[in-house]
Amino acid sequence: MFPLLKYTEAEVAARLAKVSPDAVRGSLTKKRHDWFDLLNLISEAAQPFIPQMRQLAQAARRCYYGKTVSVYAPLYIGNTCVNSCRYCDFRSQHTGTVRRNLTLDEIRAEADAIRKTGVDSVLVVAGEDPKVNTVARLAEVGRLLKSIFSYLALEVAPQTEDGYGELLAAGYEGLTCFQETYDQNLYREMHPAGPKADYDWRLNTQLRAGRAGFRILGCAFLLGLGPWRREAASLAAHAFYLMRECYEAKVQFAFPRICRVDGGFTSLCEVDEGDLEQMMLAFRIVFPQCCMTVSTREPPAFRDRIVQTAADNMSAGSRVTPGGYAVLADNRKQHLAQFKLSDGRTPDEVYAAIRANGQEVVFKNWDNRI
Ligand code: SF4
């Protein structure tokens, strides 16, 4: 469990099992919600209330985000990695993945290809390779990309608070760091070697970035490792903690489900689409102001539906390969990819789907103070 939570795993499980329909109704009628409401809304007892949860989540979403959907693209700058995450094709031991780190010229080519689609926000992604992806290199990449995009976020190895200060100065404002699992024992099993084996260092990543001044702090667990209700209870506790400690920043949720990888890893716990929807609705109701992303790991129909009720932003035309937008020929992309995507639509097809549902595509929703 999230270490600062004062309830044990067994106590959380017992509370979830005891939730009654009346407790769910109570959580659905409250104006302000707490961690116990989150438990009520993710419980099995809440399943018959999904239609009401959809309505309430949609109303909460409209209060903060109107009918808009922000779009972004991930930009993979390299896939070398010293870690051994059992579920990832970028892990150091996996020989089936071709390794590559892009040069600055290649990164510019990728960025130009993304920008041509209209996308104005990028998430810079790289494997954890401290010799290659130093703070200095990430800052250099940031300065280059900031001349092309309005908003930059990072999904790279956790850094020190000073490192985040340098990256903020280079133009990054957002950070994503998946805890993968809040269960310390399972975490050890899934991350047997490399710097990522340090649970606490990873857990405090958002705190260090928030203290350095990052504006968006992305949190998630990997759906399919631990039982999802227990992990969701920890994620919510983590979010409440960050909202207290880094009150000037905004928490962003993502709910990535394990995708098939070439290395053969399969989910340890099933999370079906109904579970995923229930969880996303519950988080939107309890955290109406927070950002929420829907992953490209999900099929188009689900993504198009959930951006109307819970999520407020989504990627468009994603490539999970270094060089996937412009640098590589099509037949080489798959051997460098982190996972297999479920939504293979072009950016224009994603925008058309958003507009067909009466929503507006937003490319830029923030400007720095001058
Ligand atoms: S999940 Fe991240 S840290 Fe782990 S092997 Fe993949 S790229 Fe490396």
C-alpha–C-alpha distance, residues 14 and 344, integer Å = 41
220 lines ligand 1 (CB under 6 A): no
pLDDT for the residue numbered 338:
64
Rg of the chain on CA atoms, in Å: 20
| CA 151–ligand 1 middle distance (angstroms) | 24
pLDDT for the residue numbered 370:
55
pLDDT string in tens for the chain (370-residue length): 999 999 999 999 999 999 999 999 999 999 999 999 999 999 999 999 999 999 999 999 999 999 999 999 999 999 999 999 999 888 888 887 788 999 999 999 999 999 999 999 999 999 999 999 999 999 999 999 999 999 999 999 999 999 999 999 999 999 999 999 999 999 999 999 999 999 999 999 999 999 999 999 999 999 999 999 999 999 999 999 999 999 999 999 999 998 766 667 888 898 999 999 999 999 999 999 999 999 888 999 999 999 999 999 999 999 988 999 999 866 565 666 666 778 889 999 999 999 999 999 999 988 876 5
| CA 290–ligand 1 middle distance (angstroms) | 26
C-alpha–C-alpha distance, residues 55 and 60, integer Å = 9
Strand blocks (E) in the chain: 68-78, 121-126, 151-155, 172-180, 216-221, 250-254, 291-294, 313-315, 360-362
The closest residue, in CA terms, to atom 7 on ligand 1 is: 127
| CA 240–ligand 1 middle distance (angstroms) | 26
C-alpha–C-alpha distance, residues 111 and 263, integer Å = 29
Are the beta carbons of 45 and 24 closer than 8 angstroms?
yes
Dihedral angle, C-alpha 333, 337, 341, 343, nearest 10 °? -40
| CA 180–ligand 1 middle distance (angstroms) | 10
Residue reference for tokens 């993968």: 180
258 lines ligand 1 (CB under 6 A): no
- DSSP one-letter code for 98: P
90 lines ligand 1 (CB under 6 A): yes
The closest residue, in CA terms, to atom 2 on ligand 1 is: 127
261 lines ligand 1 (CB under 6 A): no
C-alpha–C-alpha distance, residues 230 and 5, integer Å = 12
CA 45 to chain centroid: 27
310 lines ligand 1 (CB under 6 A): no
| CA 21–ligand 1 middle distance (angstroms) | 40
C-alpha–C-alpha distance, residues 55 and 335, integer Å = 42
| CA 2–ligand 1 middle distance (angstroms) | 21
Written as six digits, the tokens of 61 are 């979403």
What kind and span of H or E run contains 144? helix 135-146
| CA 127–ligand 1 middle distance (angstroms) | 6
What kind and span of H or E run contains 164? helix 161-170
70 lines ligand 1 (CB under 6 A): no
Alpha-carbon distances of 253 from 21, 24, 184, 191, 301, rounded to whole Å: 27, 22, 21, 22, 20
85 lines ligand 1 (CB under 6 A): yes
Written as six digits, the tokens of 53 are 């949860």
pLDDT for the residue numbered 198:
97
| CA 128–ligand 1 middle distance (angstroms) | 7
C-alpha–C-alpha distance, residues 218 and 11, integer Å = 27
Greatest Cα-to-Cα distance within the chain, rounded to the nearest angstrom: 59
91 lines ligand 1 (CB under 6 A): yes
Q: Residues 26, 31, 35, CA angle at the centre, nearest 5°?
A: 65
Kindly report the CATH number that applies to the domain delimited by 9-362.
3.20.20.70
C-alpha–C-alpha distance, residues 99 and 79, integer Å = 6
80 lines ligand 1 (CB under 6 A): no
- By the 10 Å C-beta count (0-12 exposed, 13-18 middle, 19+ buried), 48 is classed as exposed
pLDDT for the residue numbered 266:
83
183 lines ligand 1 (CB under 6 A): no
| CA 126–ligand 1 middle distance (angstroms) | 9
Q: Which of 79, 90, 100, 101 to mutate to test the pocket of ligand 1 (most atoms within 8 A of CB)?
A: 90
Are the beta carbons of 71 and 361 closer than 8 angstroms?
yes
pLDDT for the residue numbered 330:
66
78 lines ligand 1 (CB under 6 A): no
83 lines ligand 1 (CB under 6 A): yes
Give DSSP secondary structure letters for 185-229: HHHHHH--SSGGG-HHHHHTHHHHHHHHT-SEEEEEE-BTSS-HH
Q: For 225-309, where are the alpha helices, taking DSSP H only?
A: 228-245, 273-286, 300-309
How many DSSP H helices and E strands does the chain contain? 15, 9
Specify the amino acid at residue 175.
L
C-alpha–C-alpha distance, residues 194 and 177, integer Å = 16
Bridge partners, residue 221, by sequence: 180
pLDDT for the residue numbered 94:
83
| CA 305–ligand 1 middle distance (angstroms) | 29
